[in-house]
Each structure stands twice: as structure tokens, then as C-alpha cells.
Structure 1
Amino acid sequence: MKTPLRRITFLVGALFASGTALAQELYIYPAKGQSAEQLDKDKYECYSWAKRDTGFDPMAIPTATTAAPSTEKRSGGVVRGGLGGAALGAIIGDSSKAAKRGAAAGGLIGGVRQSSQNSAAERERKEWEQREGSNYANNRNNYNRAYSACLEGRGYTVK
């Protein structure tokens, strides 16, 4: 199942798993006596400006910037290696004993190779998760800086 919802759910989970908090809420104080209505208006205008300026919308559901690597583990390395080894053993040794030895050696090599490929795919997946989590955190940080600058320019204290 490779739906966008699954990717989104996975990305949000990856963000938390990688230790990246989604976002810290900003505290906004009206330092020049602005009313609640003025605060709401300024917050919306600064949200719109920061979103436009950074290209990041904190209200949107996080999505991956690149396609996730496959999580499908491959199998059959032992069988393929065994068949290849048996065929090679039969050709080289010209006996059933040589074919059996070739099959055993081929199966062992095929199994080790398949395990190595699956480990590499798992490492690639973890690197992707960390990269996506880091991208999200950087984009959110840039948005927060722009949003804070806008509000501070309008006379608010932002922490």
C-alpha cells in the first residue's frame, strides 16, 4: 500500500522517532498594548507572509520531499545461488557430488549476498528518514524566524 496517507503517516512518525519535535509554539506578547483583535489580524497577516516567503506552511500535513526507498525485503538469494552453484558444479565437476557442493556453496554465497543487500536497503531507509526529518525541521525553523520577524516588526515580543 503506497498511498500518500501512508507516506505522510510514516514521515510524521519518522520525525518523532528521529528526535525532531514538530514545532515549539511561539509565545507572542503585545508589547505596545495591541488588542486581541489586532493580535489575531497581525498573526494571520504574518502567517501568510512567512508562508509565502519561506514556501513552508505549518498548517499543512507534512509530506516527504523525495520518494521513500522500498521497504520490501528481498528473498530467494539462497535458492538462486544454489541453482547457479549446482549448474556450475555440474558443468565443472561433471558429477552429482560436484553439483551438490556447488549448490551448497552457491546457496551460502547467495544467502549472504541477499542479507547484505537487505541490510544496505535498511540503512538507506534510515538515512532517508533522518534526511526528511532534518529537512522538515529546517523548513519549520526558517518559517518560525520569518513569522517572528514579522510580528516583532509590528511591535510584539516573540519568544
Structure 2
Amino acid sequence: MYRISPLGLCLVASLISLQASAETVVPLNGQSSQQIQMDTSECQNTANSASTSAPVTGGRVKGAAVGAAAGAVGAQVRGNQHDEVYDRVDDDVKQDYRQNRAKETAAAGAVVGGSRQRQERRAQRNNSESTHASAYTSCLQGKGYQVTP
């Protein structure tokens, strides 16, 4: 049976941890290289499951729907502000006007919704990365390792 020196264990742990993250893992309880590999693999799996979250979807669709509703309501309000003229206009023309305004604002809403969706995805990705690192470090520390950046 092979005996690995503490320096050798540090080297093995460092190499393993480089694959997982940019951290140095030092065994504090004389763990074997096989145990280090099993522990880092288990902690990596734990961290991966802790950092998964539902994807952000539907931003453009939601934005378009809100924009369309706002456009139609806005068109009706503008029409009501000019009651004398608006009342004399044919109902089909009023409907076309409301639909055109709804289309214009739906397009703008889709752009805004897409932008918000991208911002939420970036924030979620950053949060997921920090959650992963924290879960990985906590798991290894709980198994008797010193983890340093």
C-alpha cells in the first residue's frame, strides 16, 4: 500500500480542485488520495444540485402583452379626450386605430421585456455561480478540508 506525504496530498487536492474551481483544498485529517477524489466529486455534485435553478423565460411575450394592452387603453383614452371628433368616427376605424397602437406598443414592450429577461438571466447566473462556490466550499470544509481561494 502506498503512503502519500502531506505535500503529495496537497498537490493531488490542488489538482483535483483546479478542475472544480480555482481553490486550494488541503486535507486536515490525513485523507487518502482516493478519499480526496471521492469527497471532491461528492461535493461537486452537491454544489451542482444546489446551484441549479429554473430558467428565466417569457420576458418578450410578457412585455408584448403588457405593451399591447397599454397601447389599446392609451388609444381609447386619447380618443375619449377628443369626444366630439372621436364620436363621429366609424367603429371600424376606431378599432383599427386601437389595434395599430396596440401593435406599436407591443413591439416596444417585447424589446423592454427581452432586455429585462437578459438582466434577470445575468443576475441568476451570477447568483448561481456564487451559490455553487459556497456550497462546494462548505461541503469540503464539513468533510475535514481547508479550502482557500
The bucket for the TM-score relative to the shorter chain is 0.5 to 0.7
Larger radius of gyration: 2
Provide structure 2 residue ranges, at least 5 long, that are not aligned to the other structure: 1-15, 77-97
Aligned counterpart, 1:141: 145
1:20 aligns with 2:2: no
More helix by share: 2
CA RMSD of aligned residues (A): 3.6
Q: What are the residue-to-residue correspondences of 1:56-95 with 2, within 5 Å?
A: 62-63=42-43, 64=46, 68-94=50-76, 95=98
Alpha-carbon distance, 1:131 to partner? 0.6
Q: Is the Cα–Cα contact under 8 Å of residues 15 and 22 in structure 1 kept in the other structure?
A: no
Query: Aligned equivalents of 1:77 and 1:129: distance in 2?
Result: 26
Alpha-carbon distance, 1:17 to partner? 3.0
Give a deviation string over 1:30-83, Cα, whole Å, max 9, x none: xxxxxxxxxxxxx9xxx9xxxxxxxxx866662438962434422221111101
Query: Aligned equivalents of 1:92 and 1:78: distance in 2?
Result: 20
Between the aligned residues of both structures, percent identity stands at 24
Instruction: Report the TM-score when normalising by structure 2.
Output: 0.52
Instruction: Report the TM-score when normalising by structure 1.
Output: 0.49
Provide structure 1 residue ranges, at least 5 long, that are not aligned to the other structure: 1-12, 28-42, 48-56, 143-159
Q: Is the Cα–Cα contact under 8 Å of residues 75 and 101 in structure 2 kept in the other structure?
A: yes
Give a deviation string over 1:69-115, Cα, whole Å, max 9, x none: 43442222111110111111011113223212210121111111111
Size of the aligned set, in residue pairs, is 103
Moved over 4 A (4+): 21-27, 57-61
